Amino acid sequence: MDQQIIDLMFKVKGLDIIEHCPHCESYVAPTLIDSDNFYDETNHQSLETYILKCSRFNCGRYYMVDAWLDTDFDGKYYAVEAIKYPNNMSNYIDKDIEKVSSSFIEIYNESITAENAKLLKICGCGYRKAIEFLIKDYIIYSNRQDENFDEEKIKSSVKIMNLINTYFNDNPIKLVAEKIFWLGNDETHYQRKWKNKDISDMRSLIEILLYKIKMELSYEKYTTEMNPQNKDA
């Protein structure tokens, strides 16, 4: 291991993040290329920036870590928060979901970009908007065969919970969609109702909802394709 990295790990506790390359997703003994520091007079904290190079022969790419430091009772530095760039949270791509709601894909990925940039005060609003588009588009997609279905009524509705309760019945999708929207409202309102939940919980529920919708789409696909009436002679 690079001696500078050894010295750095000895100097600052809690910097394990530097040993994970965001490009090749490998745990490595990186090379410390350069570092800089800044002292925040307001919060009385030091920010150290480390420019690192992956040691894997097949990668060798550069990445950066920002670490906010504080000291313990023994005067030992430890990382209060460490942020790695580029962030390894990638864009969401799914052809089945895109057929239902391409707008959801676009808004969801913009929200991911905002979260990667640590814009945590606005990315939650983006996730909530993405879910509103997904819910409306999924309702429209699910009722596309109904000639009496009023698509414009769904698009113009501002009462999303009413749409969830009306069109999702009592299946698991309804339960997950409700909880996502509760957290989404927390991201847009002045006071939070779910104080023990955050953006990571919202994303986890979105992933569950996407999984449930994909299950429904797969069920619909194979029910149609394997209808006994369509069976080959």
Give the chain's mean pLDDT. 85
What is the tens place of the pLDDT at every residue in 188-206?
A: 888 888 888 888 888 888 9
pLDDT of 233 over the 70 cut: no
Integer-rounded Cα radius of gyration of the chain:
24
Q: How far apart are CA 130 and CA 138, in angstroms?
A: 12
pLDDT at 139: 93
187 class by beta-carbon count within 10 Å (0-12 exposed, 13-18 middle, 19+ buried) = buried
Over residues 27-42, the mean pLDDT reads: 85
Run of H or E residues at 188: helix 172-188
Count of beta carbons in the 10 Å neighbourhood of residue 218 = 11
- What is the pTM (predicted TM-score) of this model? 0.64
Domain locations along the chain: 3-85, 95-230
